[in-house]
Structure formats: structure tokens, C-alpha cells
Amino acid sequence: MEAEQLLLLWDRLVGYDDLTILSLFATSIFLFRSEVLLCCGSKEEVGDVFSGNWGRRIQVVPLLQAVLWADVLK
């Protein structure tokens, strides 16, 4: 994860003063990669999904917004 994105996540943690943001962020990552994860046949493949360059492209704010306001977008 890029430093800027990590700081944005910390900003949300401090601003909301609630660790629930971490579970929401983790949920958003799994939802975002759900199609690829469902195609994985081994734990090594799952590890490959979350390693490498993909981790550097994580955008904290859009992922959190997608989980927090999912009902609004439907």
C-alpha cells in the first residue's frame, strides 16, 4: 500500500475514532477482488491475488465509500 493511501486510512481512523473502519476496509478489499478470489483453487493463488503490484494500487477512499454507501448506489 502506498504511503499516501495509508495516511488516508489513518486519517479516517483518527477522524471517526472507531476501529470499525479497519473491518470495513478489509471487507471492501475482499468485495473488490471477489470475482478473482472465487476463481482461485489454492492458497498460493489467493496469496498471489493480494501480493505484487495490486497492493500498491489500493485506493482507500473509493473502497470505503463503496462499502459505506452501497445501498445508496443501488
Q: Using an 8 Å Cβ cutoff, are 56 and 1 in contact?
A: yes
pLDDT for the residue numbered 42? 93
Q: Please give the average pLDDT of every successive group of 10 residues along the chain, which has 74 residues.
A: 91 93 92 90 89 76 88 56
Q: Which domain holds residue 21?
A: 3-73
Quote the pLDDT of residue 32: 87
Work out how many domains the chain is built from and give that number. 1
Question: DSSP code of 59?
Answer: -
Q: In 1-74, which residue ranges form alpha helices assigned H by DSSP?
A: 3-16, 20-32, 34-38, 43-50, 60-68, 70-73
Backbone angles phi, psi at 19, to 5 degrees: -75, -5
The pLDDT score that the predictor gives to residue 55 is 63
What is the H or E stretch that residue 56 is in? none
Q: Are 12 and 64 in contact (CB under 8 A)?
A: yes
